[in-house]
């Protein structure tokens, strides 16, 4: 089996429109949450989200492509271009067949779907955009990225709710390991802060309603948490076969060493009791990596700030990690970025690699009232400088999807 390394990354979050600015916000404990600007919230119970700010899609594609693609696709394209530039990877006719694209989204082109329904009802069926389908469907993102970059290798989109881009990175890793590609552009994108999505998540009692203090609303593992905060964002990685990367003189950022993927077979929204599904995903990732729980230096938790999720994930970590659960630093960066749904796994995978490279663990902000059921080291409120050689990223999704990824400091 081939070794798989990370050679480039791209990131857009509510904290910044590139990796550098997003990382600066994360390690400084800054919240990206604020009042919603995308639509009139006066008839909604929830008035805030972690929106992307001042993003210019035309910096990454011509204006014709901007008009023909949904905003979630804009984010996928932007982070791909950032990652390719970071990796200094040029896709040519000679290598295109060996470079693939796996990009996922939990919801896809919801902005376009919302807008085109209004067109249908207000102006009639003949005014629906001929680009509507390609703008709405989730495989539109890997499709347009392939077209714009020339990558002709394996190409598909994953959908597993909030575990989606954990799956795209994990499956890209497996694709390279088994020899079906030399390099993969892998990640996820989400832009679902729309009135219909916010109303739906609120009506299922998933969202925080802390309108008085929106920047403190996302508070994973805190006893006063009352739901997640919707976020927008995208994360992208360039994964490469080690020998392919070395042959072209690539700068290697980290190695992907483990991937576990399981299903709960339990409930449509709630995690399985005790976190059984997540336990099995983490265990598989560790086994594939040839590592023990005590080898893990940092866990980027799924940590959504919903009451059942945080306590269940904590229980799962305790069960698998034993006494080491109380020594390993854990943080939920959703406390700052909000929950980016299908993009979360990729966003947080990028953060794990950054922690390895920089020796800094971002904090869990807004953690002021310890929950007795959540009694581990969640790196509260301030970043921590420490050596991170092995980082684990956990993702869980509605439907009972669980993903665990393990990144390791690269060594010859």
pLDDT of residue 148: 97
Separation CA 203–CA 22 (nearest Å): 31
302 labelled catalytic: yes
Contact 110, 200 (CB under 8 A): no
Respond yes or no: is residue 352 known to be catalytic: no
pLDDT band at 269 (very low <50, low <70, confident <90, very high): confident
pLDDT (0 to 100) of residue 139 = 97
Residues 6+ apart with CB under 8 A from 133: none
Predicted confidence band of residue 142 (pLDDT cuts 50, 70, 90): very high
Cα→Cα distances 394→55, 165, 330, Å: 28, 11, 11
Residue of 74, 261, 302, 401 with catalytic role: 302
Catalytic residue among 74, 261, 339, 352: 339
Residue 263 pLDDT > 90 = yes
For the segment 113-127, the average pLDDT, to the nearest whole number, is 95
Helix, strand, or coil (residue 355): helix
Q: Is 90 exceeded by the pLDDT of residue 1?
A: no
Taking domain 1-412, whether its CATH number is 3.90.660.10 is answered by no
10 Å CB burial of residue 44 (0-12, 13-18, 19+) is middle
pLDDT tens string 36-82: 999 999 999 999 999 999 999 999 999 999 999 999 999 999 999 99
Average pLDDT in the 333-355 region? 98
User: Is residue 412 scored above 90 in pLDDT?
Assistant: no
Residue 158 is predicted with a pLDDT of: 93
Average pLDDT of the chain to the nearest whole number: 97
- The one catalytic residue among 74, 162, 261, 352: 162
Domain boundaries of the chain, sorted by first residue: 1-412
Catalytic annotation present for 162:
yes
| pLDDT band per the 50, 70, 90 thresholds, residue 389 | very high
Task: Give me the phi and psi of 173, to 5 degrees please.
Answer: -60, -45
Whether the CB-CB separation of 50 and 216 falls below 8 Å is answered with no
The per-residue pLDDT for 72 is 98
Mean pLDDT of 211-215: 98
């Amino acid at each position: 089996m081939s070794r798989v390394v990370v050679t480039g990354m791209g990131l857009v979050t509510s904290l910044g429109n590139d990796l550098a600015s997003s990382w600066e916000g994360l390690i400084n404990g800054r919240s990206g949450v604020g009042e919603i600007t995308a639509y009139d919230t006066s008839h909604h119970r929830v008035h805030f989200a972690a929106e992307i700010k001042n993003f210019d899609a035309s910096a990454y594609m011509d204006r014709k492509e901007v008009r023909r693609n949904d905003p979630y696709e804009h984010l996928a394209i932007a982070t791909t271009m950032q990652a390719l530039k970071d990796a200094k990877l040029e896709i040519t006719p000679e290598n295109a067949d060996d470079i693939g694209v796996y990009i996922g989204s939990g919801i896809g082109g919801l902005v376009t779907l919302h807008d085109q329904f209004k067109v249908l009802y207000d102006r009639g069926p003949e005014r629906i955009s001929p680009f509507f389908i390609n703008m709405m469907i989730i495989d539109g993102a890997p499709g347009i990225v392939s077209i714009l970059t020339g990558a002709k290798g394996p190409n598909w989109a994953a959908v597993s709710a909030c575990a989606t881009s954990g799956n795209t990175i994990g499956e890209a890793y497996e694709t390279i390991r088994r020899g079906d590609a030399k390099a993969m552009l892998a990640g996820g994108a989400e832009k679902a802060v729309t009135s219909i999505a916010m109303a739906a998540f609120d009506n299922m009692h998933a969202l925080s309603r802390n309108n008085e203090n929106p920047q403190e609303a996302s508070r994973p593992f805190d006893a006063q948490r009352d739901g997640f905060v919707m976020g927008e964002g995208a994360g992208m990685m360039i994964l490469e076969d080690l020998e392919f990367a070395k042959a072209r003189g690539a700068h290697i950022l980290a190695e992907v060493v483990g991937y576990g993927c399981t299903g709960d077979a339990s409930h449509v929204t709630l995690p399985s009791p005790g976190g059984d599904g997540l336990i099995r995903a983490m265990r598989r990732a560790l086994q594939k990596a040839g590592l023990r729980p005590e080898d893990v230096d940092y866990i980027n938790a799924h940590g959504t700030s919903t009451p059942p999720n945080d306590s269940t994930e904590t229980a799962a970590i305790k069960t698998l990690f034993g006494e080491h659960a109380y020594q390993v630093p854990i943080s939920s960066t959703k406390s700052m970025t909000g929950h980016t749904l299908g993009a979360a796994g990729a966003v947080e995978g990028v953060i794990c690699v950054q922690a390895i490279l920089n020796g800094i663990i971002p904090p869990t902000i807004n953690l002021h009232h310890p929950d007795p059921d959540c009694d581990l080291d969640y790196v509260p409120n301030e970043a921590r400088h420490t050596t991170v050689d092995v980082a684990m990223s956990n993702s869980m999704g509605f439907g009972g999807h669980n993903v665990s990824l393990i990144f390791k400091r690269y060594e010859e």
